[in-house]
C-alpha cells in the first residue's frame, strides 16, 4: 500500500526541499509543485512533492492519519481467512 503524507517545507533550494512532519525531516523533489515556498504544505509521495495543500487541509489530513493509527493500536490486524474469534 502506498501513502502520501502532508509535510511542511522548511528549507528550499530548487529543485529540492527539506520537509518536516512530526519531527521527521526528509529531502524531496518539488519540481512538480507550482511555485513552492518555505512554509507551504505539500503532499509527499515516493520522494516527490506532488501537490500543495492549505494549512487547514494538511492539519485535517494529519489528524485523520493519527486517528487511523490509533485504531490500529487496539487490536492486531485480522488474518486473511480467519474471522475474529474463529481459532479452529
Specify the pLDDT at position 5.
Answer: 94
Q: pLDDT tens, 7-56?
A: 999 999 999 999 999 999 999 999 999 999 999 999 999 999 999 999 99
Specify the pLDDT at position 78.
Answer: 62
pLDDT at 58 over 80: yes
pLDDT at 75 over 70: no
SS3 83: coil
Domains, in order of start, for the chain: 5-69 (2.30.30.140)
pLDDT band at 85 (very low <50, low <70, confident <90, very high): low
Q: What are phi and psi of 29, to 5 degrees?
A: -85, 130
Amino acid at each position: 500500500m502506498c501513502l502520501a503524507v502532508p509535510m511542511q517545507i522548511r528549507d528550499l533550494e530548487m529543485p529540492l526541499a527539506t520537509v518536516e512532519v512530526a519531527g521527521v525531516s526528509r529531502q524531496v523533489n518539488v519540481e512538480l509543485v507550482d511555485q513552492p515556498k518555505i512554509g507551504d504544505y505539500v503532499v509527499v509521495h515516493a520522494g516527490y512533492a506532488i501537490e500543495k495543500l492549505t494549512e487547514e487541509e494538511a492539519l485535517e489530513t494529519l489528524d485523520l492519519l493519527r486517528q487511523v493509527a490509533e485504531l490500529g493500536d487496539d487490536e492486531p490486524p485480522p488474518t486473511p481467512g480467519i474471522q475474529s474469534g474463529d481459532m479452529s
